[in-house]
Chains A and B, each alone.
Chain A
C-alpha cells in the first residue's frame, strides 16, 4: 500500500516535471508572413505557456527551396512549415506532409470554417489535405480615380471588357503617356484564372486532360491582344522597377491584382499616391484569387502534437487572424474573422473606401479550383505562348495548340 503510494507520487512528480518543461518547436517561414506570426504569438503564448515557438525565416524563394530539399532528404524539416500558394499544389502531390484529414488532426471538423476554395488548393488529387489556410488574396480591380475623372470615365463603364478597352482609348486620347494597364498579359491571366469551370483546374479538366486550347483561353488571349494592338498597355513586367515607377508616377491607370496590392502600394511602392486609388470587382462578374498562405506539418516532425496546436491557433483563432490582418493586411482565410468590425472600416489609402467588404464578397464568390501537379509547367508554357502572341504576333490558335502538345508531353 505504502509502496504504491510512493510509486504514484513519483509518477506524479515526473509527470509534473514533463508538464512544466517547455517544449520548443520551430516554424519555417518567409517574410512578411513572419511579421504576421510575430503579431499572433503573444496570444498563443498566453494560452499555451509550455510551447515555445522559434521562427526560422528565409527569403520567399530560399524558404521554399530549402523546404523542397529538406523534404527530399527528410532532414532539416521544421515542426511547422509555411507554404505559399505557388507551392502548395506540388507539396500536396508529394508524400512529405501529414494528411490532416486523418486522426489525430481530423481537419474535417475545421474545413467549413474557411473560405471554401482554399480547401481545394491544399488537397491532393487523391484527397489528402496537407495544410491549413491562413490568409487569402481575393482578386480586385484597382483604378486611379484622378485619372479616370480627368478623362471623364465612369468606372462602372469598365465593368465589361469592351467598356474597359474603350476607356483605355479615351485615356490614351487624353494623354498618350498614360497607359490603361502595365501589361496586357494581366488581362489574359485574370480571364484564365477567374473563368474556371466547376471542378476543373486552371489548365486541366476533371479527368486531368489539358484544356488550354478551349474557348476560355482563346478569349483570354484575344482580349490581351486587343489591348496590346490598340497600344493601351505599357508593356511592363510585374515586380520590376518600371512597374513601381508606373504606379508612383501615375502612368498606369488600372491594375488587376490580389487585395494585398494595397498594402504594398501603401507601404513602399507608391505611398505618395495615397487617396488616389479606388477598387471595384473584376469586370464581367469574374472572381479570382491571387495568392494565399498555408501551414503544414512535415511527416518527419518530432513534435506533431504541439505543431498542430500552433497551427490550429494561427488558422482557426479569430483574434489571431485579426492580429495578422492588422499587422500586414493578410486577408483572413477564416470566415468568422471576416465579420470583425475592422472590415467595415474605410481604407485611408483608397480614399476611405470600404474596400474590405468588397474583398470579402469577392473571396466568398471565388470557386474552388482543382490543383494539378503540372500547374507550374503549364503556367510557364502558357506564359511563353502568351508572349509569343503579344510580342511576336503569333497566331492565337497555333500558339495554344503548340502549348497543349508541350504540356501533354511533360505529363508522361
Chain B
C-alpha cells in the first residue's frame, strides 16, 4: 500500500508495523479524551445513580454500606406528598415562567430584526446579558427588590396606589413575596427575566435565516408588517420554536439555582411553596442524607422530562417538520 512517494524506499518490518499500528490506532487515541470524560463524568455517574436508586444509603455510613431495597425508593417517592408538591411547583413554574419567555422573545426578535437592524448586535448583547449573569448575584438583587418593607417592587405598588385608577386592582398592603403562596411568582419573574434574552437570540438567528425575498414578495403583495409577521415569520420559525420550547421544558423541569438561592437554600419558611423537584432531590440527598431516595427522584424526573419532550415532539415537532419543508 503505497500512499506517499517520499516514504523511505526500504522500511524495516518493525518500522512498518509501528506505522501500521499508528495508522490504525491514532484516530482512537485522538478521539479518546471525549470517551474518557464521557465514561468518567457521564456514563458512570448515570449508571451508578441507577444502581443507587435501588439501595438504601446515607453518606455518613461510609463507602460500601449499601443495603438493597428493591423498588422501595420509587414507591416511597411516588407516594410522597412532599415530592408531589415539588412536582406541582415545578410544572407550575414551567408553564408560568416558560410561556412568557417565548411570547416575549418572538415579537422582540422580530422587532430587533426589522426595526433596529443597525443596533442589532448591541441590543441582542443587552438582552443576552441576564443569561450570563451569575444566578447567585441575580437572586440576591431580586430578593432585595422583593423585600417586603423596603423593596422597590412593593414601594412602586404603594406609590401607584396613591394615584387614582390604580387603587382598585392593586393590593393596599405591602406584599410579602416570601410566603408559600406568593414565592412562586417571584421565582417565575426571575426565570423569565433571565432566559428571555437567550430565547430572543435563538429566534433572532432563525429570523435572519429567512430569505429577504419572502418579505419583499409579501410587501409587493401589499402585506402589512403584522401580516408579514403572522404569515411569513411565524410559520418559518416553527422548527426553531420546537427547539427552543424543548430546551425550555428540559431547563424548567431541572430548575434549581434560582429557587434555591431565593429560598435561602431551604432556610426560608416559604421553602415548600417554591421548592422544585431538583431542589427537593438535592435536599433529600445532602440535607436528609437519603442518597437512594434522591437517586430515585432523579430517575422519576428523567421519566417526566422524557414524556414531556415526546409530547412536545408530537405537538410541535411533526408540524414544524411538515411546514418547514
Contacts and interface: CB of A to CB of B under 8 A. Distances in A.
A134 to B, nearest CB: 21
Given A61-B265, A237-B178, A242-B149, A73 B63 contact: yes
A386 B178 CA distance: 14
A67 to B, nearest CB: 9
A380 B147 contact: no
A21 interface: no
Nearest to B57: A72
Interface centre among B65, B149, B180, B265 (most CB of A within 10 A): B149
Contacts of A391: 176, 179-181, 269-270
B287 interface: yes
Contacts of B289: 68, 90, 94
Nearest to B151: A242
A69 B63 CA distance: 10
Given A242-B148, A391-B181, A392-B181, A386 B269 contact: yes
B46 to A, nearest CB: 18
B80 interface: yes
Given A71-B59, A74-B63, A95-B61, A235 B176 contact: yes
Interface string B279-300: 0000100111100000000000
Contacts of B60: 68, 71-72, 90-91, 93-96
A300 B178 CA distance: 43
Interface residues of A, number: 38
User: Range of interface residues on chain B?
Assistant: 35 or more
A74 B149 contact: no
Contacts of A96: 60-62
B147 A72 contact: no
B272 interface: yes
B309 interface: no
**Chain B contact residues, majority secondary structure:** loop
A131 to B, nearest CB: 13
A263 to B, nearest CB: 20
A185 interface: yes
A237 B65 CA distance: 39
A74 B180 contact: no
A234 B150 CA distance: 13
Interface string B40-51: 000000000000
B268 interface: yes
A207 interface: no
B267 interface: yes
Interface in B261-282: 264-272
Interface in B174-209: 176, 178-181
A407 to B, nearest CB: 11
A96 B65 CA distance: 11
A388 B180 contact: yes
B28 interface: no
B267 A72 contact: no
A68 B59 contact: yes
A167 B108 CA distance: 57
A73 B179 CA distance: 38
Given A74-B63, A237-B269, A241-B147, A377 B288 contact: yes
A281 to B, nearest CB: 27
16 contacts: A68-B59, A72-B59, A72-B60, A72-B62, A94-B289, A234-B149, A239-B264, A241-B147, A241-B150, A242-B147, A387-B179, A391-B270, A392-B180, A406-B81, A410-B288, A412-B76
Given A94-B58, A241-B144, 12 more contacts: A68-B286, A74-B63, A237-B178, A237-B267, A239-B267, A242-B148, A380-B287, A384-B180, A387-B269, A391-B269, A392-B179, A412-B72
